Amino acid sequence: MTAYSGQRRRCMTKRRREFWAGMLFLAPNTLGFLLFTLVPVLASLALSFFDWPMVGTPTFSGLENFQRMFTGDVKFYKVLWNTIYYTLLYVPTVLVFSLGLGLLITRKLRGVLTFRLLYYLPVLTSYVAAAMVFQWIFNNDFGLLNYLLRCIGLQGTNWLTNKATVMPCVAFVSVWKNVGRYMIIFMAGLQSIPKPLYEAARIDGATFWKQFRYVTIPMLSPTTFFLLITSMIDSFKLFDIVWCMTGGGPSDATRTLVTYIYNVSFQNFRMGYGCALSWLLFVIIFVFTAVQMKCQSKWVQYDM
């Protein structure tokens, strides 16, 4: 009995030592999360109920910031619509093109590895560099796009100063920048589809399009669902490309919710109102994600 008790105590001591060793390894990451993520998030929630011009003492204003958002700020509805419009342009386009490229680079073609590298290179480019390059390409006077159009007898346009074309241009740059990342994820999803499914479909006489419709699409639905969520979240966080290419212009035609939060908080020094806008952005993304998670059972196929 004494030997059993001693062995039990040694086991408990060892487990306790392993527990505290694990806590010690987790401590730097946990402290970093608390200090640089959780505390600022909670502070922003508290500041959303205050009027704080970043100089002086914050003044409690209750729900005034949220009330101003919906009743007293005309520009808010414009930037919200700009963000939704960009999302409607960007998300379907980047998913369709990345799926098409994923289908292309998974085929056994000559030089396919080179194509994979070329399609993925824009992902390694910084948003600022991509925005500056395309700002030159879309320039009305000396831009490459208008030069090529004039070479074939067509008249160019003011791509970045025309309200009708500026947001599609921004969406195009975002698609060019991110399509390689989504392509790689689609490629991984395509390679995980069991080959016997395609063999059985071919034996039954299914054409390529029927294989794509009844095998590829259902089996790829978990990957598609994941990319739909992440691309939508990325679209609502758009900042870098807009800020470098257009600065939100012309006439706020490309000013998104995140750029507006920056304007309000760090240019107009209305930090309380900026925090309220940030929490509204969080709620919008949370609701969209929750709705998609709720609806996933109707179209996402997990069974092999």
What CA–CA distance (Å, rounded) separates 242 from 226? 25
Residue 303 pLDDT: 56
pTM of the complete model:
0.87
Tokens linked to 167: 């947001």
Give me the sign of the Cα torsion angle 154, 159, 163, 165.
Answer: positive
CB burial of residue 43 (10 Å; 0-12, 13-18, 19+): exposed
Residue 53 pLDDT more than 60?
A: yes
Confidence of residue 3 (pLDDT cuts 50, 70, 90): low
Tokens linked to 273: 């109102």
Give pLDDT tens digits for 191-205.
Answer: 888 888 888 888 888
Half-sphere exposure of 164 (CA within 13 A, CB side): 2
Residue 208 pLDDT more than 70?
A: yes
